[in-house]
Amino acid sequence: MSSLEENMEEMLNISVDVPAEQVKPAGPKTDKDDQQKDYEYTRGELYSLIDQGQEAVRGALEVAQESGHPRAYEVAVAAMKHVADMTEKLQALHKNMKDLDEEAKGPSKVTNNAMFVGSTAELQKMLKQMGGGKR
């Protein structure tokens, strides 16, 4: 125990039990289960904040209508903007999860480009066969 801790204990007339071995918490897990839990938690929190924001907007509009004060309307409009921002964050969350899922699947193995390998004479012969020999 350091001298500062001993002095604080003496000044406050308390005793502090310090465990003999302090274990550092493990770093954050990055597996799929934690990712899904974080997504669901964040989604739930955003829904809650959006609902509370909508209630705040209704209350602010009511106060603004009753008072007719320009500042009250300004506050109501600012609250509306915050609710709109939270809905955009919810959409961004969905997009981010979709991007992470696609990233986890890896690149697709579809080949969209085809190349002819051969001489010009072979290419002309193949084109004539494909076009029915018309020129």
| 75 within 8 A of 62, measured Cβ to Cβ | no
pLDDT (tens digit per residue) in 65-114: 999 999 999 999 999 999 999 999 999 999 998 888 887 776 666 666 76
Residue type, 118: G
pLDDT of residue 33: 81
pLDDT (tens digit per residue) in 48-62: 999 999 999 999 999
Q: What are 23's two structure tokens?
A: 């274990």
Q: How confident is residue 12, by pLDDT bands cut at 50, 70 and 90? A: low
Q: How confident is residue 35, by pLDDT bands cut at 50, 70 and 90? A: confident
Give the span between the Cα atoms of 62 and 70, in whole angstroms: 13
Q: Which domains does the chain have, with CATH numbers?
A: 31-103 (1.10.287.1060)
